[in-house]
């Protein structure tokens, strides 16, 4: 089971925290607005009212041990920059921050953000792509309890071939593609002798419960 924190519980932060929790992760939700914290409480592991620009308070949460921290502070540009800086200084390895524009994104990168989120732009690109170049997968009706997802390989998968892992027999899931990041490459229907690297991303199809079992592996 992975652990995440979401700082800022506006619309984007709320739905991010809820989705992570419903996907079987531990989620710590943080906001300085009590009503927002109360609203997310049923949909996360823990929800706390806190000023995230208080570095000492952030340090007390053990965020450096999280798999990732998402920062979404709305239009408060200076607040998101300060929080990102503190998270970097604390030692958080994966910091995802919602940016309002390209200049904001550049500053966030300089103070430690590992990934920039542009919700409106990314959704616009997705919609336009689906309209102009529809993906065949969009037209395959998956059953309610099946998922097509991207998964980071668990530690036990790294250095082993797909034949060795035999995921179809052990977990009843199918690896339909692998995204290699180093160097960048996309392998559609990878061969059985493909050896998984720690930088690979597995594109996996299977029942939601079976995929959760793999995500729970360390």
- Own/partner pairs, 138-145, CB within 8 angstroms, 24+ separation: 145/207, 145/208, 145/209
Of 59, 97, 60, 101, nearest in space to 80 by CA: 97
Considering the domain architecture, whether residues 119 and 147 belong to the same structural domain is answered as no
Tell me which of 76-80, 92-96, 121-125 is least confident: 121-125
> 27, 45 in Cβ contact below 8 A?
yes
Domain limits for position 208? 141-215
Choose one of 88, 123, 158: the last residue of a domain.
123
Tokens 């620009």 -> residue: 53
Provide the percentage of residues in the chain whose pLDDT is more than 90: 65
Q: Which residues are within 8 A (CB) of 134 and not within 5 positions of it... i.e. 6 or more apart?
A: none
pTM of the model: 0.64
Considering the domain architecture, whether residues 112 and 146 belong to the same structural domain is answered as no
SS3 110: helix
In a domain, 133, yes or no: no
> 143, 209 in Cβ contact below 8 A?
no
Q: How far apart are CA 5 and CA 45, in angstroms?
A: 10
Choose one of 123, 153, 177: the last residue of a domain.
123
Considering the domain architecture, whether residues 148 and 117 belong to the same structural domain is answered as no
Considering the domain architecture, whether residues 77 and 172 belong to the same structural domain is answered as no
Considering the domain architecture, whether residues 43 and 115 belong to the same structural domain is answered as yes
Average pLDDT over the chain reads: 89
In a domain, 131, yes or no: no
Q: For the chain, how many structural domains are there in total? A: 2
Considering the domain architecture, whether residues 12 and 88 belong to the same structural domain is answered as yes
pLDDT in tens, 29-88: 999 999 999 999 999 999 999 999 999 999 999 999 999 999 999 888 999 999 999 999
Cis peptide before 183 (omega within 30 of 0): yes
Give the pLDDT score at 144: 60
CATH code of the domain in which 199 resides: 3.30.70.1450
In a domain, 134, yes or no: no
| CA distances, 162 to each of 86, 94, 169, 214 (Å) | 40, 28, 11, 14
In a domain, 128, yes or no: no
Q: 147 is written with which tokens?
A: 């998922």
Considering the domain architecture, whether residues 8 and 116 belong to the same structural domain is answered as yes
- Of the pLDDT bands very low, low, confident and very high (cuts 50, 70, 90), residue 136 is very low
Q: How many H-runs (helices) and E-runs (strands) does the chain carry?
A: 9, 10
Bridge partners, residue 177, by sequence: 188, 203
First to last CA, the chain: 8
Q: How far apart are CA 197 and CA 78, in angstroms?
A: 38
């Amino acid at each position: 089971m992975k652990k995440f924190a979401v700082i800022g519980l506006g619309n984007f932060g709320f739905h991010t925290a809820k989705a992570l929790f419903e996907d079987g992760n531990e989620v710590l939700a943080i906001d300085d607005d009590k009503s927002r914290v109360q609203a997310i409480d049923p949909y996360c592991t823990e929800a706390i009212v806190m000023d995230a620009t208080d570095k000492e308070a952030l340090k007390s949460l053990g965020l450096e041990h999280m798999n990732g921290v998402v920062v979404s502070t709305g239009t408060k540009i200076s607040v998101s920059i300060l929080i990102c800086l503190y998270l970097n200084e604390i030692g958080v390895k994966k910091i995802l921050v919602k940016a309002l524009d390209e200049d904001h994104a550049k500053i966030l990168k300089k103070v430690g953000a590992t990934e920039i989120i542009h919700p409106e732009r990314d959704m616009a690109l997705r919609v336009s792509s689906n309209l102009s170049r529809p993906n065949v997968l969009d037209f395959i009706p998956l059953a309610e309890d099946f998922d097509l997802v991207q998964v980071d390989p668990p530690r036990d998968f790294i250095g082993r071939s797909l034949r060795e892992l035999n995921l179809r027999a052990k977990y009843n899931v199918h690896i339909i593609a692998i995204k290699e990041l180093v160097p960048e490459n996309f392998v559609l229907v990878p061969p059985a002798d493909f050896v998984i690297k720690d930088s690979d991303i597995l594109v996996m199809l299977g029942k939601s419960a079976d995929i959760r079992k793999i995500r729970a592996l360390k």
